[in-house]
Amino acid sequence: MPAPVVGLRAAVREALRTKAGLFGFGMVGFLLALVIVVPVLAPYDVISSWGESERWSDNPYSAAPDWLDAFSATKAARTKIVEWNLLQGPTRDRVDRFTYSESNTTELFKIIQLRARWTFAYDGFPQEIRLQTLYWSTEQPVIAIEWTRPDDENVTIYQASPQRLGPNVETLSLSSMTQPFNVLSAVRQWAVGVGADPVPIEKVRPHIALFAEKGPGMMDPSRAKVLKGYYSMTITVFNAEPSDKMQARFTSFGTVFGIAGTDHLRRDLFIGLLWGAPVALAFGVAAAVITVMAQVILGALGAFYGGRTDEIIQRGTDFLIILPVLPILILIGQLYQISIVWTLLIVVMFNILGGTTKVIRTIALQVKEESYVETARSYGASRLRILFRYIMPRTMPYTFALLALSVPGFIFLEASLSFIGLGDPVLPTWGALMGDASRNGALYNGLWWWIAFPALGIVFTTIAFALLGYAFDKVLNPRLREE
Amino acid sequence: MAMLEVKDLHLYYRTSRGPVKAVDGVSFNLEAGETLALVGESGCGKTSTASAVIRMLPRNVHRYDGSVTFDGNNIMSYSNEKFRQDVRWKGVSIVFQGAMNSLSPVLRVGYQVTEPLTVHSNMSREEARDFAREALKRVRLPDYIADRYPHELSGGMKQRVVIAMALVVNPKIVILDEPTSALDVMTQANIINLLKRLRRDAGLSYIFITHDLALASELADHVAIMYAGKIVEIGPSEDIFRDSKHPYAQRLLSGVPLLRGTQAPQSIPGAPPDLIHPPPGCRFRPRCPFAWEKCEKEPPLEWGSRKAACWLLGEGEARLGGIAA
Amino acid sequence: MKTVKRSGAVASKMALVRFLVKRAATLAVTLVIATFIVVIIANQGGLVDKLIISEIEIGVAQELNADPSYRRLPPNDQARVFRETVQERIRMRGLDQPFVTKTFRQTGDALTLNLGLAQDTYGTGSYRLGTIIMERLPRTVLLFTTATIISAVVGVWLGLRMARKALSAFDRGMTLLSITTLVIPSWVFGIFFILVFSFGLRLVPTGGMVSAPAPREQPALLLDQLWHLALPLATVSFSSFGGWSYTTRNLVLQIMDEDFVTAARAKGLPERTILRRYVLRAASPPIVTGIVLALIGSWTGAIVTELVFNWPGLGLLFLQAVQSTDAPTIIALTVIFAYLFVITVFILDVVYSLLDPRIRALGR
């Protein structure tokens, strides 16, 4: 029979010799690296803004990962931003600028013109187009927005004197119904004029029509084809006061974004995924360590002191084993919005005694009967000393494998809670991402990455710890070793 | 023709650090009615030899060969199934070391004693139960024991049960592996007396494995002393106990303290060798006070009438004179 | 001799009884305390009551103000009628009692399975909780208990084969598969499988127990139900077999190394007999315990799994009840669950103690 492995270092070394141990350590190592790197790369203020929509407003919503179209013949649209001096919002390097010019300046008025020109070379249409303007004026100027296409078509999509002007950002979404009808009707009128089949006003999609090749299907998303080439947009302010200022930002949203896409609130899923790792790990490891240690100590204490203490611990263990944690967590989560720290506390409370307590108690009872313990007691060693120096080391092998194997269970508990939507309301955990995805029709709309990536994250972490625990199990349970 | 003839038996185990040569060319004979004691330190291969004889092999066997003739039959050539039916228990039974663990905790004792009967002879349950009661009586146990579970019996009682179990199909040879090491001295004496009586009544042959020389001297007709997987000396117990020839055997026997005598017991310096890489030549060489160049070659076991694997016999006798014991 | 024999057997039986009584007591206490806790939480320490009361007040005010005869009453009378109506409603819902009394009463009711009325019919057409639960319970059992049985049978059989061929490629591969699947909960598998088999390959429906609209005639209805059952059943079974196979394998290997198995082999018993009589008998107590843990796990995990598959069983009912703060339903479900649990654990304790005579000794 092979000799039992003693000591943590020896156990680790032995575990590394097995394939499972190697993989397990490797995977856990990777996760640990993530935990360290992520707070540096994506600092916490990114996360605290997980709940703020402002931070993410320049991303498309429910976008696919941008490397996906490497697998298909068509290239999907990417986000393009052109701005002039718009101070709000994050500054990006790849943002182009409008050209600004003023003309016909007299004492009483002037003409401001902002002009942008860019190439659109994608096979797919943008998700939507949006214009944000910031204008200071006391009078009511006339603003005209003109759209020029590669086929030299010029569309005046907007020409009016907007009512409320002041130092507020006006967002003109040029894609949706909630915007002034005159944009939609201007686009429709022009499109029909160049041969498009007519479409009811509420079905007009400027982000399709304005980019589509002329033809009968140009207003129909299923038939329209993209016209590639140079596009330009000109914003002209007539009757501007000499002191007026204008800023603008035009965004053409792509349909893909980033390494992992975005969710329904435009949040970068990659950041969510990255942050899922440290959160899951922190929760799982903290819960595992605290509960296993508590169970081991209490089990040993019960065995050692015997009598009433033992009885109480035993009854308590039986009770806590039977009590179901998840339903109660769900109940509490629904009624009170609990943060992940509270979830941790409740989970720990329910697991402070458990199956391990019984096993450790059995081991401790055996050790207690052995002669070297009697010897120690005979020379006056205190009970505590015996507990730590003799009983605990004997429980170490079992404990370590158990630690590794407990982590996944806790990660899943938290993920289950978050999936239902009752987890931490602020943090982007993997379970929360999956829950969001499932509730927002990820499966039905083919946005598989939204639900699959966090799921993969959970699976990866789980397997990492399972392999680790399995390797330790093999090492420390001599009968399972390969000899 | 002896009842059991073992020639050049090998049993190696496979481990991650290399094959362990637990039984490395062991040969001995056992006549009917004789008792052979297999003596040696822990880890010298005694138990492995017994396992090898009855083909109780672990999962990690590296090498298993040799010749074992039982009652004229070459049992090494038997298939596993034939071995199970003809040799196991009916021919050779075994009382394991730590008898307490030989009994399944979830089955009643009587049932376990009866089992070999229902397997090896076509007895009905009732007949078998009577037989079992007889067997228990033979080992001086009351028959209500048959309805008990092992955990309800004391160590000595369990040992008797296991002995009863070993005898129940009237084997020719019983291998006893340290049958008394876990027992107190009184119980030990009882068990030994029991074994003697059974041997006399049923004409059994024993292979008695022990590290306790006193016990060996009580029961054995012949003694084989093992060291590092090999038999280093074998012969009638008289010869061995009174005048052993192998330095290891001598040291072993002189290690027993005498009640009356001024001679201090001598221990053997060093530690038993690694069975994965045993020393070349005579395996005792590193610890032997008489070692000389000849010992780099492995010595044969037979030297005329005495069998001790040492170059000191024969030509080496002369050397003994000049070297202090 | 005779007296010794009788006391031996009788002592053994008494120890067994004592052990079982102790266990029953612990389980009963757990049941009561768990129910009590849930009642308190579900009522949110009285908060839910206050919310319901204000809801009643608003509702009554709206109703009365829509009634012209009420509006014609002088203000004092209006106030009086309002108060009386509200009070009566409160009394009807049993909210007029102090919180503590109510809690004890509800706990008592729950424990005696006097479950009362839910706040919604949950599609069953009845408010009676007994009816609602009885309609949904078989669905959960159909899915989860069947899956547990399948995965147990398949898993144990696999575990035995793995132990027989220990360290072979088959064993190593299956061990890896077992440990990687047993740690992942069934709902995660569910999501992946739905993605692949429902949306990707379109082999099975994405959820629910029957199609909408459901077929009306018998063979068609049954087939439709089976078709809907296929993926959830396969998923839950797949996610749990690993636990069975891995633990069985290790258990069997451990037992095969035990001395009494070696002794049995030396006795010349055929291998199959050894397997059956020695190895499996010795392995059955831990396997039986494993059943308890598996059932516990599956019932708790059932909640999210039912959500993912949109399976209208007790788990989904629990979620719906929690989300609408339907306290009576929550309490009823918890009690049912607790009873099922406790009874299962107790039965298994009895079975275990019958299988392993040493346990009876411990009860002393």
Cβ of C343 under 8 Å from any chain B Cβ?
no
- Compute CA distances A423 → A56, A183, A316, C180, C310, whole Å: 22, 42, 28, 25, 21
CB-CB neighbors (< 8 A) of A330 in chain C = 303, 318-319, 322
Query: Mean of the per-residue pLDDT values for chain C?
Result: 79
* DSSP label of C258: S
- In this prediction, residues B38-43 reach a mean pLDDT of 84
CB contact, 8 Å: C29 with chain A?
yes
pLDDT of residue B320: 55
Q: What is the mean pLDDT of the segment spanning C220-232? A: 85
- pLDDT-above-70 percentage for chain A: 84
Do A43 and A120 fall into the same domain?
no
Residues A334 and A368 in one domain: yes
Highest-pLDDT range among A97-101, A393-397, B21-25, B106-110: B21-25
Chain centroid offset of residue C322 CA: 16
C337 — contact with chain A (CB < 8 Å)?
Answer: yes
What tens digit of pLDDT does each residue of C25-73 get? 878 887 888 778 777 777 765 666 677 777 778 888 888 888 888 777 8
| C302 close to C240: Cβ distance less than 8 angstroms | no
What would the two tokens of residue A244 be?
Answer: 């007026």
Q: With a CB-CB cutoff of 8 Å, which residues 151-170 of chain A face chain B? A: none
Q: What's the whole-number mean pLDDT along residues A88-94?
A: 53
* pLDDT of amino acid C107: 77
Spatial distance between the Cα atoms of A79 and A90, rounded to a whole number of angstroms:
14
User: Does residue B194 register a pLDDT over 80?
Assistant: yes
Query: Residue B152 pLDDT > 90, yes or no?
Result: no
Q: What is the DSSP string of A391-431?
A: IHHHHHHHHHHHHHHHHHHHHHHHHHHHHHT-S-SSS--HH
Q: Which domain holds residue B243?
A: 4-256+268-324
CB contact under 8 A, B15 and A482: no
Confidence of residue C5 (pLDDT cuts 50, 70, 90): very low
pTM: 0.75
Rounded Cα distance, A345 and A287, in Å:
8
In a domain, B9, yes or no: yes
pLDDT at A479: 52
Q: Residue A14: list chain B partners with CB under 8 A.
A: none
Interface membership of A3 toward B (CB under 8 Å): no
User: For position A78, which CATH number holds?
Assistant: 2.60.120
With tokens 């990455």, the residue in question is A449
Check pLDDT > 50 for residue A482.
Answer: no
User: Can you tell me the distance from the alpha carbon of C21 to that of B324, in angstroms, rounded to the nearest whole number?
Assistant: 75
- Would B263 be classed as within a structural domain? no
- Per-residue pLDDT band for A288 (boundaries 50, 70, 90) equals very high
In a domain, B197, yes or no: yes
Please determine, for residue C344, whether its predicted confidence score (pLDDT) is greater than 90: no
Predicted pLDDT of residue C11: 62
Domain that holds residue A87: 67-253
The lowest-confidence range among A138-147, B94-103, B144-153 is: A138-147
Q: What is the pLDDT of residue C238?
A: 92
Among A184, A218, A253, identify where a domain stops. A253
Residue of C210 and C361 predicted with greater confidence: C210
How far out from the chain centre does Cα B261 lie?
Answer: 31
In a domain, A139, yes or no: yes
Q: Do A482 and B16 count as a contact with CB atoms less than 8 A apart?
A: yes
The rounded distance, in Å, linking the Cα atoms of A44 and A47 is: 5
Contact of C277 with chain B, judged by CB distance below 8 Å, is answered with yes
B125-146: average pLDDT: 82
Q: Distance between CA atoms of B283 and B22, rounded to whole angstroms? A: 13
In a domain, A448, yes or no: yes
Pair A336, A447 in one domain: yes
Which residue does chain B place closest to A14, by CA atoms?
B16
CB contacts, 8 Å: B14 with chain A: 483
| Domain assignment of residue A258, yes or no | no
Contact A234, A241 (CB under 8 A): no
Interchain contact, B106 vs C355, CB within 8 Å? yes
Residue C271 has pLDDT above 90, yes or no: no
Q: What is the CATH number of the domain that holds B217?
A: 3.40.50.300
Q: Can you list the positions of beta strands (E) in A24-95?
A: 80-84
- pLDDT surpasses 90 at A291: yes
- Best of A322, A329, A406 to substitute, by most chain C Cβ atoms within 10 angstroms, is A322
The DSSP bridge pattern shows strands B173-177 and B92-95 to be parallel
Indicate the domain borders of chain C: 1-119+327-364, 134-323
A247 and A140 inside one domain: yes
By C-alpha distance, the chain A residue nearest C333 is A327
Contact indicator for B61, B13 with CB cutoff of 8 Å: yes
Q: In what order do the strands lie in the sheet with B92-95?
A: B92-95, B173-177, B205-210, B35-39, B222-227, B230-236, B306-308, B302-303
The pLDDT of residue A164 is 57
User: Using only C-alpha atoms, what is the Rg of chain C?
Assistant: 28
B-C contacts at Cβ under 8 angstroms = 84
Contact assignment for C281 to B104 by CB distance below 8 Å: yes
Q: What pLDDT, on the 0 to 100 scale, is given for residue C234? A: 92
CA B312 – CA B319 distance, rounded (Å): 7
Candidate from A324, A334, A459 with C-beta closest to C184: A459
Residues A414 and A345 placed together within one structural domain of the fold: yes
Collect all residues from B whose CB is shorter than 8 A from any CB in A: 14-16, 60
* Averaged confidence pLDDT in chain B: 83
**Most A CBs within 10 Å: which of C21, C188, C295, as the mutation test of the A interface?**
C188
3-state secondary structure of A237: strand
Q: What is the pLDDT of residue B325?
A: 39
Q: Give the lowest-confidence range in A377-391, C143-157, C309-323, C350-364.
A: C350-364
Same domain, A443 and A469: yes
Q: A–B: how many Cβ contacts below 8 A?
A: 6
A216, A363: one domain: no
C126 touches chain A (CB under 8 A): no
| SS3 track for chain B | CCCEEEEEEEEEEEECCEEEEEEEEEEEEECCCCEEEEECCCCCCHHHHHHHHCCCCCCCEEEEEEEEEECCEEHHHCCHHHHHHHHECCCEEEECCCHHHHCCCCCCHHHHHHHHHHHHCCCCHHHHHHHHHHHHHHCCCCHHHHHCCHHHCCHHHHHHHHHHHHHCCCCCEEEEECCCCCCCHHHHHHHHHHHHHHHHHHCCEEEEEECCHHHHHHHCCEEEEEECCEEEEEEEHHHHHHHCCCHHHHHHHHCCCCCCCCCCCCCCCCCCCCCCCCCCCCCCHHHCCCCCHHHHCCCCCEECCEEECCCCCHHHHHHHHHCCC
Q: Name the residue among C289, C293, C332 with its Cα closest to residue C314.
A: C332
| B261 is a domain residue | no
Q: Looking at the complex, does the CB of residue C131 fall below 8 Å from at least one CB of chain A?
A: no
Local confidence band at C326 (pLDDT 50, 70, 90 cut-offs) = confident
Whether A238 and A278 map to the same domain: the answer is no
Q: Is the confidence at residue A178, as pLDDT, over 90?
A: no
Residues of chain B positioned with their CB less than 8 A from the CB of A13? none
pLDDT for res A430: 92
A422 or A172, higher pLDDT: A422
A2 and B CB contact within 8 Å? yes
Instruction: Name all chains with 3 or more CB-CB pairs below 8 Å to chain A.
Output: B, C
pLDDT at A255 over 80: yes
Q: Where does the pLDDT of residue C364 fall: very low under 50, low under 70, confident under 90, or very high at 90 and above? A: very low
Of A246, A254, A229, A248, the residue nearest A148 (C-alpha): A229
Contact assessment for residue A85 and residue A212, using Cβ atoms and an 8 Å cutoff:
no
Domain count, chain A: 2
**Interface contact flag, C269 B165, Cβ < 8 Å:** no
Residue of C nearest to A324 (CA): C300
CB pairs under 8 A between A and C: 118
Give the gap in angstroms from C-alpha B124 to the nearest C-alpha of chain C. Answer: 16
In sequence order, which ranges of A75-148 are alpha helices (DSSP H)?
none
**A2–B15 C-beta distance less than 8 A:** yes
Half-sphere exposure in the Cβ direction for A121 (13 Å, CA): 2
The last residue of a domain, from among A213, A229, A253:
A253
Give C153 to chain B, closest Cα distance, Å: 23
Q: What percentage of residues in chain B have a pLDDT greater than 90? A: 9
Write out the H or E segment, with its range, that includes residue A130. Answer: strand A128-136
Q: Identify the architecture of domain C134-323 in CATH.
A: Orthogonal Bundle (1.10)
Considering the domain boundaries, does residue A54 fall inside one?
A: no
Arithmetic mean of pLDDT, A416-438: 88
Q: What is the largest CA-CA distance in chain B?
A: 70
R_g over Cα of chain B: 21
- A230 and A290 in a single domain? The answer is no
CB contact under 8 A, C268 and B102: no
User: Looking at the domain assignment, is residue A161 inside a domain?
Assistant: yes
Q: Is residue B44 within 8 Å of B229, Cβ to Cβ?
A: yes
Closest C-alpha among A38, A28, A24, A459 to residue A278: A38
pLDDT for the residue numbered C2 = 42
pLDDT > 90? residue A237: no
Over residues A339-348, the pLDDT tens digits come to: 888 889 989 9
Least confident of A21-30, A352-361, B254-263, C84-93: B254-263
Pairing of strands A110-120, A128-136: unpaired
Cβ under 8 Å to B: A residues 454-483: 482-483
Q: Do residue B60 and residue A483 have CB atoms under 8 angstroms apart?
A: yes
Q: In chain A, what percentage of residues exceed pLDDT 90?
A: 6
Q: What is the pLDDT of residue C310?
A: 87
Considering only residues B272 and A172, tell me which one the structure prediction assigns the higher pLDDT: B272
Name the closest residue on chain B to residue A481, using Cα atoms. Answer: B16
Question: What proportions of chain A, in percent to the nearest 5, are helix, strand and coil?
Answer: 50, 15, 35
B262 within domain boundaries: no
Question: Tell me, what CATH number does A310's domain have?
Answer: 1.10.3720
Average pLDDT, chain A: 80
Is there a domain that residue A219 lies in?
yes
Check pLDDT > 80 for residue C169: yes
Residues A446 and A473 grouped into a single domain: yes
- With beta carbons less than 8 A apart as the criterion, state whether A72 and A246 touch: no
Rounded Cα distance between A117 and B263, Å, is 112
Taking 90 as the threshold, does the pLDDT of residue A289 lie above it?
A: yes
CB contact under 8 A, B14 and A483: yes
pLDDT band at A169; cut points 50, 70, 90: low
Residues A215 and A281 in one domain: no
pLDDT confidence bin for B38, thresholds 50/70/90? very high
Task: Check residues A209 and A134 and name the one with the higher pLDDT.
Answer: A209
CA distance B213 to chain A (A): 26
Q: pLDDT at position A160, please?
A: 74
